[in-house]
Amino acid sequence: MIAASAVRCTALAAGCNHIERGDVKTYRLIPLILAISVFLSGQFARAESGWLNDYKKAQEEAKASNKFLLLNFTGSDWCGWCIKFDREVLSQPQFKDYARDNLVLVELDFPRAKSQSAEVRKQNLELAQHYEVVGFPTIVVLNSDGQAVWHYDGYFPGGPEAFIAELQKLRKG
C-alpha cells in the first residue's frame, strides 16, 4: 500500500511539473550550460567573421597588410540602429567579401548585458573619447598609418552597396 501510494505521488508530482530532489541539480545546470554556449558561440562567430576587439593588434595588422582599419563603435546588445546596421550591412556577404580584401575590422562594443573584460572596456572607452564618439553606431576609418580618414555617426542607409561605395572613395583619395 505504501509503495503504490509512493508511485501515485510521484506520478502526480510529475504531472504537476515537480522535479524530484535528485534531478534538481541537473536541471539547474541546463540554463547555465545554454548561457555559456550562447556566449561562446557569439565570440567564435565574431572571430570567424574577421572582427577583432584588440585595437593594437588590429593596428599592426592594418599596417602590415596596407589596409584601412574600420572601427565600429556599437552597443551590440541594446542599440537598435547598431543591430540594424550590423544585420543590413556588416553581416551581409557583399560587405564581408569587400572587408576581407580591404579592411581590418575592429568592434568597439559598449554592451549592457554581455560580459566584457575590464581591459577591453577601458580600451573601448579611451578610443571612444579619442575619436569623439557621442552616439552609436559610429564608424571611424583609419588609413594604414593610423590617421582618421572618415568618421560617420549613426545608421548608414543604402545597404552594403552604398557603404562599400563610400569606403571605395576613401581609397581613391
**Rounded CA separation 140/149 (Å):** 8
Residue 34, pLDDT > 80, answer no
**Which domain covers residue 114, as residue numbers?**
49-172
Buried residues in 52-88 as b, exposed as e (16+ CB within 10 A): bbebeebbebbeeeebbbbbbbbbbeebeebeebbeb
Cell of 102: 580591404
Residues 64 and 129 in one domain: yes
Whether the model pTM is above 0.75: no
Residues 38 and 54 in one domain: no
Residues in the chain: 173
Cell of 58: 588590429
**Rounded CA separation 99/141 (Å):** 12
Quote the number of domains for the chain: 2
Tens-digit pLDDT profile for residues 96-151: 999 999 999 999 999 999 999 999 999 999 999 999 999 999 999 999 889 999 99
Residues 36 and 83 in one domain: no
Name the pLDDT band for 173 (thresholds 50, 70, 90).
confident
Name the pLDDT band for 1 (thresholds 50, 70, 90).
low
Residues 75 and 37 in one domain: no
Per-residue model confidence (pLDDT) at position 8: 41
Residues 125 and 166 in one domain: yes
Residue 20, pLDDT > 50, answer no
Name the pLDDT band for 48 (thresholds 50, 70, 90).
low
**Rounded CA separation 15/9 (Å):** 10
Cell of 14: 510529475
Question: Taking Cα atoms as reference points, which of 155, 134, 136 lies closest to residue 84?
Answer: 155
Cell of 59: 593596428
Q: What CATH number is given to the structural domain containing 93?
A: 3.40.30.10
Cα 163-167-170 angle, rounded to 5 deg? 150
**Rounded CA separation 131/75 (Å):** 16
